[in-house]
Amino acid sequence: MITGAAIMIVEILGAKMLAPYVGTSHFVWTAQIAVALIGLASGYALGGWLADRSPRLTWIYGAILGAAVWLCGTVLVCEPVAYACLRFKVAAGSLLAALILYFTPLALLAMVGPFFVRVVAPSLTAVGTTVGRLTALSTLGSVLGTLLIGYVLIPLLPNSVTILVTAGLLGAVTAAYFLLWERKQAAPVIVSLLLAGFGGWIGTLRPVLAQPAGWNELYRANSNFGLLQVVEDVRGQQRFYLNDLLTQNTYDPAAGRSQSLFTHMLYGLAHAYTPQLRDALCIGLGVGVVPMQLAREGIQVDAVEINPDVVPLAQEFFGFEPERLNLTIGDGRHFVGTVGKQYDTIILDAFLGESPPSHLMTREALGAMRRCLRPGGTLVMNTFGDFTPGRDFFLASLLLTLETQFQSVKVHDGATGNVFFVAADQPELRLLRTPSLESVPIELQDQVRYTFDNLREPQRWRGRVLTDDYNPVDVRDAVNREALRRRLALHSRPS
């Protein structure tokens, strides 16, 4: 049961530990699952082979010891291994990093099952019962490990500490066996565990993605949706909210306003294109800047945020007041499918790592959003994109998909990577109001004007309509997301 739980913890947590460097795309999870399966297959084969040749329990507890020691080592070397693998494409790099870090402990732990079948089965007539019982115990342990890591450990502890605790549990099992039944060999086992544990503990003291010189880290917390950080320059003039390295917002704490283009564009586009703005739905809270701007004007705001750990952070460091709007913790797709309410505007600013969640970009998802809009209402979206031919699949596909649900679509290019889509179910979408720049920092005003004026369209023939059944955007846009992730990770690499 313990090794079964450890296998699932390592499988899930491995991808989480690599996420700040290589992202959270399906490539990363595919690599982690593939390595886990290869490790399990190798361990099963090796465990069965060893059990037939030398069925001494010392071997299998030695394998558990090896897994514990290796996991302690991953805490120390995860960062340098991840950076070394960034030189490869994300698919190959994440696969290589997972192989280096997690293949060996998973293979060692997988040896336990077939080995114990050989040792525990009293006779050939009882093999079926023994296999069934041991498999059931291992699977039950895996279920408990999955629930524990998913619902308790990730939000509660840093990933490195969780790995170290898992290694400690495996080490305790090993130590108990040697102390009780193999006392002559217990001393080197205990020493090995203590040295490995000390090395792992040193690794937990080194912060993941330490802040650059000249910046102070005000907040750091693990969450089910990545590492959350708030950093501020030493003069206290700029504050950043980071989620797995991706800058979610830049903030002036003295003025109490955002210094990021996308916040002013989302707010400004909603006002400029929407005939009447009485209530709004914000899918993706961020740190609450745009919802708060709207709420302070007397607009009724509903906001949906999938990560509950963002809310206290937004309150403490970015002036968010949750009592001034209706906040729902949940998935935006589920919300628009069940809310039974209509809005004048929907502002979609949801990101998972370096990209918008693809399930919010499909024809079906956008259709659900259209049904949540009043006649003349607008959908305003922020995304990252590239208009370069050959790298514009995502933008072209999003335009085509929006056009299946809305009569008019406008695309504003910020020329900084941010691209803004405005869609409405009306024959002609046009600016109804001159954008107000009162709340925009003076250093951003020219860029806001430029983005409002810079209307572009990707070449439609390069994209395709995205559906729930077929949505290849994660693969087709991988080159852009990979470049962004690599740039962010290398920029934050400690010198």
Rounded distance, CA 283 to CA 372, Å?
A: 12
Rounded distance, CA 432 to CA 272, Å?
A: 5
CA 40 from centroid of its chain's CA atoms: 25
Is the backbone of residue 175 left (phi > 0), alpha (psi -120 to 50) or beta? alpha
Q: Are strands 257-258 and 246-252 parallel, antiparallel or unpaired?
A: antiparallel
- Single-letter residue type at 398: L
Band of residue 494 on the pLDDT scale cut at 50, 70, 90: low
The domain ranges of the chain are 2-205, 254-491
What is the reported pTM? 0.83
Chain position carrying tokens 């060999």 = 185
pLDDT, one tens digit per residue, over 78-134 is 988 988 888 888 788 889 999 999 999 999 999 999 888 888 876 666 788 888 888
pLDDT, one tens digit per residue, over 147-179 is 988 888 887 888 889 999 999 999 999 999 999
Q: Per-residue DSSP letters for 188-209?
A: HHHHHHHHHHHHHHHHHHSPTT
| 59-87 average pLDDT score | 92
H helices present in 339-493, as ranges: 363-371, 393-403, 442-453, 473-476, 478-491
Rounded distance, CA 377 to CA 275, Å?
A: 7
pLDDT, one tens digit per residue, over 337-356 is 999 899 999 999 987 666 77
Band of residue 480 on the pLDDT scale cut at 50, 70, 90: confident
Neighbours of 124 (CB within 10 A): 7
Rounded distance, CA 271 to CA 280, Å?
A: 11
Rounded distance, CA 326 to CA 232, Å?
A: 29
The reported pLDDT for the residue numbered 234 is 86
Tokens of 369: 């959003």
Mean pLDDT lowest among 16-25, 51-60, 314-323:
16-25
Rounded distance, CA 448 to CA 213, Å?
A: 30
Mean pLDDT lowest among 47-56, 115-124, 189-198, 436-445:
115-124
Q: Is the pLDDT of residue 3 over 70?
A: yes
Rounded distance, CA 399 to CA 408, Å?
A: 10
Instruction: Name which of 205, 60, 161, 68 is nearest 119 in CA terms.
Output: 60
Instruction: Provide the CATH topology of domain 254-491.
Output: Rossmann fold (3.40.50)
The reported pLDDT for the residue numbered 106 is 97
pLDDT, one tens digit per residue, over 363-385 is 999 999 999 999 999 999 999 88
Helix axes 127-148, 112-120, angle to 10 degrees: 150
Rounded distance, CA 77 to CA 97, Å?
A: 10
Let me know if 367 is exposed, middle or buried by CB neighbors in 10 A (0-12, 13-18, 19+). middle
Q: Is the pLDDT of residue 489 over 80?
A: no
| 473-488 average pLDDT score | 75
Band of residue 185 on the pLDDT scale cut at 50, 70, 90: confident
| 64-70 average pLDDT score | 95
| 421-450 average pLDDT score | 92
- Over the chain, what is the mean pLDDT? 90
The reported pLDDT for the residue numbered 474 is 80
pLDDT, one tens digit per residue, over 274-328 is 999 999 999 999 999 999 999 999 999 999 999 999 999 999 999 999 999 999 9
Q: What SS3 state is found at 263?
A: helix
Dihedral angle, C-alpha 467, 24, 336, 258, nearest 10 °: -130
Cβ atoms of 298 and 325 within 8 Å: the answer is no
The reported pLDDT for the residue numbered 297 is 94
The reported pLDDT for the residue numbered 320 is 96
pLDDT, one tens digit per residue, over 219-258 is 988 888 888 989 998 888 899 998 887 788 999 999 999 9
The reported pLDDT for the residue numbered 55 is 86
| 56-73 average pLDDT score | 94
Neighbours of 359 (CB within 10 A): 16
Strand partners, 455: 412
Q: Per-residue DSSP letters for 119-175?
A: HH--SGGGHHHHHHHHHHHHHHHHHHHHHHIIIIIHHHS-HHHHHHHHHHHHHHHHH
- Measured between alpha carbons, how far is residue 269 from residues 95, 272, 306 in Å? 41, 5, 24
Contacts 24+ apart (CB under 8 A), 182-187: 182/58, 182/61, 185/58
Q: Is the pLDDT of residue 210 over 60?
A: no
- Single-letter residue type at 266: L
Higher pLDDT, 482 or 279: 279
Beta-strand runs (E) in 222-263: 228-233, 239-243, 246-252, 257-258
Q: Is the pLDDT of residue 445 over 60?
A: yes
Cβ atoms of 2 and 166 within 8 Å: the answer is no
The reported pLDDT for the residue numbered 207 is 66
Instruction: Name which of 211, 88, 74 is nearest 495 in CA terms.
Output: 211
Q: What SS3 state is found at 417?
A: coil
